[in-house]
Amino acid sequence: MCGTDDGAADDGGRGRGRDHGRGRDHGRGRSEDHQENQEARFSELLEDSAEDLYEHAPCGYLSTLLDGRIAKINTTLLDWLGYERDALVGRKRFSDLLTVGGRLYHETHFAPLLRMQGEINGIALELKTADGTRLPVMVTSTVKTGGDGQALLIRTTIFDARDRRAYENELLRARQEADRERDRLKVLNTTLQKTLLPPTLANVPGLDVAAHYHIASADEVGGDFYDLFPLAAGTWGMFLGDVCGKGAAAAAVTSLARYTLRAAAVYSPAPDAVLANLNTVLNHEYNGTDPRFCTVIFGLLTPDPDQGGFHITLASGGHPPAMVMRHDGTADSLPTPGGQLIGILPNANIATTTVHLAPGDTLLLHTDGLTEAHTAAGPDGRYSDEALLDLGRALAPTTATDAITAIRDLLDTLGNGVDDDTAVLAVHVPRTTSEEQQ
């Protein structure tokens, strides 16, 4: 821009102005005349413009030698800085005009980049004026090269950035504040999530149990939950569910559902009764303007003294079916058709099914975060129930720990495709040594 340092400013503008002034032709139309008039007026305005534009441009112009020494500076910049021309030209370097911190930035970033690239754009710096005040500026520099490509000098334009810097500082502060808040929120969410899950699963004699909770995003608390706990007379309760929605409101429902299920199972352990009680509690609690509901599968585990293993009764309220992976290498899902969402109707239909978990068998409960995960490989771009069943068939026979490990690997593979939280819970009856020998 500031191209007059090497005497390049010609008087072309002036010359053209005079030519147009003389070249009137009265024989032509009105609009052409008008255009000529206008051009002539513009030319007069532009009279002697190059030097004046350089000196009094609305931005600072500075030309420096390659070592930074100031060779030429315009009046605008001198006025901003409060220096006489003689105090700077040939005496000071560009970096001398900067604050000390700006000088460090200049030497470590600005100057190397300019050398490498031949130009550098829109860098925020602060100039030190003669009276010691600071002037925030935006600086753009280009290297002027000679015909042989040799660098000759550096041309710099400087814009007053006081208003802009104040605005940017606000942005920066807001961004830093937002960064801090997001970090705080993540910690809070992760902590809250943990409180909604059992710290450890109960140790059930004769049963290998494992679970995993996958947090899709630390920005929001998810609504999946599970538990495994002792009931009376050597029986055990287990559940896994998914509250519709996310965030603090969903977390409150999750908490309520968890404790209601635990208490209801003590009062009346039949799985359909447990879910019916949960339905009543949620339905009463959220019958107003903010309906909250969940899908949940509840299991009652009773040791089977005759056949070995466990007898399991499962009740489901609108939840994806459990899957059993057997010791003989087969796998099946355990459908519970007709089960309805819990909490939405005063009397939800609860569907039940039973399964015998023989030694070597594994039962897997999951939430739909897994089967609804986005993947290009699946039908409709989702992972799907069928794919999970195929995985179960490939895994069987397996153990609780191995099944959960396989699901974790699967979640890793699906990566960002898992956009909802996912909970999985597996129980497995280990075979005794004598059974294995058979």
Q: Could you say which of 171, 178, 263, 394 contacts other proteins (CB under 8 A)?
A: 171
Specify the DSSP class assigned to residue 69.
Answer: B
Q: Please tell me whether residue 163 binds other proteins under the rule CB under 8 A.
A: no
With beta carbons less than 8 A apart as the criterion, state whether 397 and 345 touch.
no
Between 111 and 249, CB nearer to other proteins: 111
Q: What is the Cα–Cα distance from 320 to 58, expressed in whole angstroms?
A: 69
Q: What pairs with residue 411 in β-bridges?
A: none
Between 66 and 394, CB nearer to other proteins: 66
Which tokens go with 157? 């334009």
Q: Could you say which of 1, 45, 172, 178 contacts other proteins (CB under 8 A)?
A: 172
Specify the DSSP class assigned to residue 31.
Answer: H
Least Å from the CB of residue 162 to other proteins: 13
Q: Could you say which of 60, 102, 222, 317 contacts other proteins (CB under 8 A)?
A: 102
Give me the phi and psi of 96, to 5 degrees please: -65, -25
105: three-class secondary structure by DSSP: helix
Q: What is the Cα–Cα distance from 172 to 165, expressed in whole angstroms?
A: 10
Q: Please tell me whether residue 177 binds other proteins under the rule CB under 8 A.
A: no
In total, the chain counts a number of residues equal to 438
Q: Which of residues 46-75 bind other proteins (CB under 8 A)?
A: 66-68
Contact window for other proteins (CB under 8 A) among 100-108, 312-320, 386-394, 411-419: 100-108
Q: Please tell me whether residue 116 binds other proteins under the rule CB under 8 A.
A: yes
Residues sharing a CB contact under 8 Å with residue 149, sequence separation 6 or more, in sequence order: none
Q: Please tell me whether residue 162 binds other proteins under the rule CB under 8 A.
A: no
Task: State how far Cα 297 lies from the chain centre.
Answer: 32
Q: Could you say which of 87, 123, 185, 202 contacts other proteins (CB under 8 A)?
A: 123
With beta carbons less than 8 A apart as the criterion, state whether 405 and 380 touch.
no
Q: Could you say which of 2, 88, 97, 120 contacts other proteins (CB under 8 A)?
A: 120
Q: Could you say which of 64, 74, 95, 367 contacts other proteins (CB under 8 A)?
A: 95
Which tokens go with 414? 């699906």
Q: Which of residues 10-49 bind other proteins (CB under 8 A)?
A: none
Binding stretches for other proteins (CB under 8 A): 66-68, 93, 95, 99-109, 111-113, 115-126, 149, 165, 168, 171-172, 175
